[in-house]
Amino acid sequence: MPKLETLRKIVQEVDSAETLDDALVLIVKRIRSAMSTHVCSVYLFDKDLQAFVLMATEGLHQKSVGQVSIPLHEGLVGLVGQRAEPLNLDDAAQHPQFRYFEETGEERFKSFLGVPIIHQRRVLGVLIVQQREQRKFDEGDEAFLVTMSAQLAGIIAHAEATVGIYSSTNQTETVGSESKYDGIAASPGVAIGVGVVMAPPADLTTVPQKTISEDKIALEIERFQAALKQVRRDIRAVGRTLSKRLRKDEAALFDVYLRMLDDNALPGEVISLIEEGQWAQGALCAVAMEHIRQFSLMDDPYLRERATDIRDLGRRVLSYLQEEASAEPKQFPPHTILIAEEVTPAMLGEVPPESLVGLVSVLGSSNSHAAILARSMGIPTLMGAVDLPMTQLEGQDLVLDGYMGRVFVNASRDLRHYYELIIAEERQLVVGLEAIRDLPAETLDGRSIPLWVNTAMGADVNRSLERGAEGIGLYRTEVPFMIRESFPTEAEQVQSYRVQLESFAPRSVTMRTLDIGGDKALPYFPIEEDNPFLGWRGIRVTLDHPEIFKVQVRAMLKASIGLDNLRIMLPMVSYVGEVIEAKRLINDALNELRDEGLPIARPALGVMIEVPAAVYQARDIARHVDFLSVGSNDLTQYLLAVDRNNPRVAGLYHSYHPAVLQALRCVVEDGHKEGVQVSICGEMAGDPGGAVLLMAMGYDVLSMSPIHLPKVKAAIRAVKYTEACAMLDNVMQLLDPKAVEEAIYTLLYDAGVGRLGNRRNIEAG
Ligand code: PEP
Ligand code: MG
């Protein structure tokens, strides 16, 4: 069996091929030689033909490439694809499903080993090896080919998805054909606009490719040389400082670095690319990445290590270029669709709100905090678009479908028109919903339920009031912390909390104490953990840092003077002791302020139920507080063991899972046994169907992103409470989340508000 090292090299080499065709040719070449077989071929599944097409081969006739297509249910290749499992035969011709394709000349080969190429449960193709003599491939061979195919599946899927926008020779040349990329629908709506790529600092892989006009070339070269000069100066300085502590041969490393930065080395290539019209950052990254690729393929370990040096040097130069660029404010076109590897709340703040129409993130899922913020701002969003060729989308025309979770590059006129109609239709729906703004959320048979909102920024307040919100059920205080460069002072916090409290008075405002950790990092307070969602998060951090906690609580209390509408809520509680400890700190803060002579009313105190342990302790916790509020986003993730940010398992994240429903019912019943108010502030409350279900369970308050409030109200006003309770009894018996969704949708549909479901439902209904 070939070695792991061989496997790693093949994958690396294939990964850096420029086109899918090049990748496939390399795959068959390298595998044939690694396994010492006579033939290696790859067939890819063609959806239109419903057949496996021979895409590359080493050993069969080259003229049959692209010509031979094997129908899904035919031949041995068809069988491997259909069964999605390996097939290992010492005499292939004896197999009843053997079919011989004359064009390939494969009659000479007796033994056959085929394995499926599967990406995300989808069979992309079949990889086969054949041998002239009759012999069974051994287990080692089979294991190697299976491993190879598993590794190649991702590369092929990515390459397949990328084909179509660019020609294989010039990565920045637009061919003009339409391409589609799927991801996770994270915030509803449609956006038509222009891609703007936001790259994290000094990351060579995410810098967009951008062309510049001829008159800018000289200036761009000047910029590059200035950055280079700074890096040379830095390296000399480091070299000097370390020279006394290093051996002579070690210190020579700095000379190697400087030689790499010599005008005739890397910089020469970068300048040539700039002269061809590429901007300096893009040119630098293209050259650096190519050298990194070549060095990492070297057999000699010393030379392989040079890839690390080039990456380091490239990053240094890039960071100077970026620093210089950030001195000029970045320009955003009027219909910006922001693209990033990982969209962060801070990025949202960088684009002027009137220009931002959509968001696309390669990583993350619909429950990531960036997605939640996007929903609260009403920005159509696609998350987890893992196959997106992000760096090539700068300045491209995009159509983003936030209902279905897809983005189109260079959409055809017809498709664009279709989406323009949807945007117009949505405007109509909003106008219709505005009419019920001042009416209560009350069912046809007179059951009413308060609808509150989740906020994070000052701007959310007006949006929420315009939509008829009756209170704030969750103010995510960490967001103002996240868009700063250091912890805000007590006075600064008082100021931002006062905006929320004052605008909503006399309605209640629920402020959650700092919930950092997990996927919410503060740039100035990094928390490095292998498993951050099970780590130092929420109340765990603030109880360990009472100074941060107390300053925040003091600020909340001071901001509430004269308004008395503050409620304080604790996140990520997993046992009663945390509540007791936090309550003691809050009491201390209250007493201190009262001692200072400030007339502060005692705020209501609540706990978020978002960790499974807290579900089972809801009654014990309730005895210590005034209200409970379910955080269904985290509760779902922890109950189902499904990372809320991981696109790979997003299909398993389901708020209608029977275990989640049982937990939700248990919390509301137990909370009521102790006589406390029970609300919910997870995203589930903002889904019109979910809201009706939660009302039937007995939740006292539903708190949601402001954007969802009108739709939720319309759904509640359209149904009868008695019918909602009957539906609840029914769904509590069901075992499949999809069946639960169906039952809820049927209720909405029968009530004449099927339109309020998601787009899939609108299309179905
Ligand atoms: C939740 O977990 O449901 C919640 C409301 O909090 P967050 O989404 O901010 O973690
Ligand atoms: Mg939470």
The catalytic residue among 119, 369, 654, 708 is: 369
- Active-site annotation holds for 681: yes
Cα 549 to ligand 2 centre (Å): 18
Cα 405 to ligand 2 centre (Å): 23
DSSP state, 520?
B
Is residue 118 within a helix (H) or strand (E), and if so which, with residue range?
strand 111-119
Which band of pLDDT confidence, cut at 50, 70 and 90, is reported for residue 731? very high
Maximum mean pLDDT: which of 10-19, 36-45, 426-435: 36-45
Report CA-CA distances (Å) from 211 to 173, 197, 216, 274.
10, 14, 10, 9
244-248, 297-301, 512-516, 560-564: segment of lowest average pLDDT: 244-248
Ligand nearest to the CA of 368: 1
Please list the alpha-helical segments (H only) found in 396-476.
Answer: 413-434, 458-466
Which band of pLDDT confidence, cut at 50, 70 and 90, is reported for residue 166? very low
> Which tokens in the block code for residue 552?
């925040």
Q: If you average pLDDT over every residue of the chain, what do you get?
A: 88
CB contact at 8 A, 128 and 148: no
CB contact at 8 A, 569 and 513: yes
Cα 187 to ligand 2 centre (Å): 18
> d(Cα 497, Cα 566) in Å, to the nearest integer?
10
Which band of pLDDT confidence, cut at 50, 70 and 90, is reported for residue 763? very low
Cα 509 to ligand 2 centre (Å): 17
Position 220 pLDDT exceeds 80: yes
> Does 512 contact ligand 1 (Cβ within 6 A)?
no
Cα 255 to ligand 2 centre (Å): 51
Cα 673 to ligand 1 centre (Å): 24
> Does 682 contact ligand 1 (Cβ within 6 A)?
yes
Please list the alpha-helical segments (H only) found in 245-368.
Answer: 248-260, 266-275, 280-296, 301-327, 345-350
> Does 631 contact ligand 1 (Cβ within 6 A)?
yes
> Does 476 contact ligand 1 (Cβ within 6 A)?
yes
Task: Determine which residue's CA is closest to atom 10 belonging to ligand 1.
Answer: 634
At residue 249, the pLDDT reads 65
Position 227 pLDDT exceeds 50: yes
Listed in sequence order, the residues at least 6 apart from 173 whose beta carbon sits closer than 8 Å to its beta carbon are: 166, 167
User: How do 604-609 and 566-570 pair as beta strands?
Assistant: parallel
Q: Which atom of ligand 1 is nearest to the CA of 683?
A: 3
> d(Cα 49, Cα 52) in Å, to the nearest integer?
8
Ligand nearest to the CA of 372: 1
Q: Print the SS3 string covering 161-230.
A: HHECCECCCCCCCECCCCEEEECEEEECCEEEEEEEEECCCCCCCCCCCCECCHHHHHHHHHHHHHHHHH
At residue 101, the pLDDT reads 83
264-278, 303-317, 538-552, 598-612: segment of lowest average pLDDT: 303-317
Q: Which amino acid is at 143?
A: A
Q: For a substitution probing ligand 1, which of 516, 520, 608, 637 has the most ligand atoms within 8 Å of its CB? A: 608
At residue 236, the pLDDT reads 84
Q: Per-residue pLDDT tens for 662-696?
A: 999 999 999 999 999 999 999 999 999 999 999 99
- Active-site annotation holds for 369: yes
Cα 633 to ligand 2 centre (Å): 6
Position 365 pLDDT exceeds 60: yes
Q: Per-residue pLDDT tens for 551-593?
A: 999 999 999 999 999 999 999 999 999 999 999 999 999 999 9
> Does 372 contact ligand 1 (Cβ within 6 A)?
yes
At residue 250, the pLDDT reads 64
User: How do 566-570 and 509-512 pair as beta strands?
Assistant: parallel
User: How do 701-704 and 451-455 pair as beta strands?
Assistant: parallel
Q: Which atom of ligand 1 is nearest to the CA of 571?
A: 6
Q: Which atom of ligand 1 is nearest to the CA of 367?
A: 8
Position 240 pLDDT exceeds 90: no
> Does 679 contact ligand 1 (Cβ within 6 A)?
no
> Does 516 contact ligand 1 (Cβ within 6 A)?
no
At residue 430, the pLDDT reads 76
At residue 658, the pLDDT reads 97
Q: Per-residue pLDDT tens for 282-340?
A: 999 999 988 888 887 777 777 777 787 888 889 889 989 988 887 777 789 999 999 99
Mean pLDDT value of segment 545-549: 95
Is residue 356 within a helix (H) or strand (E), and if so which, with residue range?
strand 356-361
Q: Which atom of ligand 1 is nearest to the CA of 478?
A: 9
> Does 55 contact ligand 1 (Cβ within 6 A)?
no
521-542 burial: b if 16+ Cβ within 10 Å, else e: bbeeeeeeeeebbeeebbbbbb
> Does 633 contact ligand 1 (Cβ within 6 A)?
yes
Which band of pLDDT confidence, cut at 50, 70 and 90, is reported for residue 165? very low
Cα 367 to ligand 2 centre (Å): 10
CB atoms within 10 A of CB 370: 27
Q: Per-residue pLDDT tens for 86-120?
A: 999 999 999 999 988 888 888 788 999 999 999 87
Q: Which atom of ligand 1 is nearest to the CA of 631?
A: 3
Cα 581 to ligand 2 centre (Å): 20
> d(Cα 529, Cα 641) in Å, to the nearest integer?
18
> Does 686 contact ligand 1 (Cβ within 6 A)?
no
Cα 634 to ligand 2 centre (Å): 5
Mean pLDDT value of segment 491-503: 95
Q: For a substitution probing ligand 1, which of 452, 610, 630, 683 has the most ligand atoms within 8 Å of its CB? A: 610
452-461, 639-648, 750-759: segment of lowest average pLDDT: 750-759
Q: Which domains does the chain have, with CATH numbers?
A: 3-164 (3.30.450.40), 179-187+330-430 (3.50.30.10), 200-322 (1.10.274.10), 440-687+696-704 (3.20.20.60)
Q: Which atom of ligand 1 is nearest to the CA of 633?
A: 3
Q: Which atom of ligand 1 is nearest to the CA of 372?
A: 8
Task: Determine which residue's CA is closest to atom 4 belonging to ligand 1.
Answer: 631
> Does 609 contact ligand 1 (Cβ within 6 A)?
no
At residue 346, the pLDDT reads 67
Q: Print the SS3 string covering 248-267.
A: HHHHHHHHHHHHHCCCCCHH
At residue 168, the pLDDT reads 33
Of all residues in the chain, what percent carry a pLDDT higher than 70? Answer: 94
Listed in sequence order, the residues at least 6 apart from 211 whose beta carbon sits closer than 8 Å to its beta carbon are: 172, 277, 278, 279
Which band of pLDDT confidence, cut at 50, 70 and 90, is reported for residue 170? very low
> Does 478 contact ligand 1 (Cβ within 6 A)?
no
At residue 130, the pLDDT reads 95
Neighbours of ion ligand 2 (CB under 5 A): 610, 631, 634
Which band of pLDDT confidence, cut at 50, 70 and 90, is reported for residue 604? very high
CB contact at 8 A, 368 and 383: yes
> Which tokens in the block code for residue 188?
């509803």
User: How do 184-187 and 451-455 pair as beta strands?
Assistant: unpaired
Position 400 pLDDT exceeds 80: yes
Q: For a substitution probing ligand 1, which of 681, 684, 687, 699 has the most ligand atoms within 8 Å of its CB? A: 681
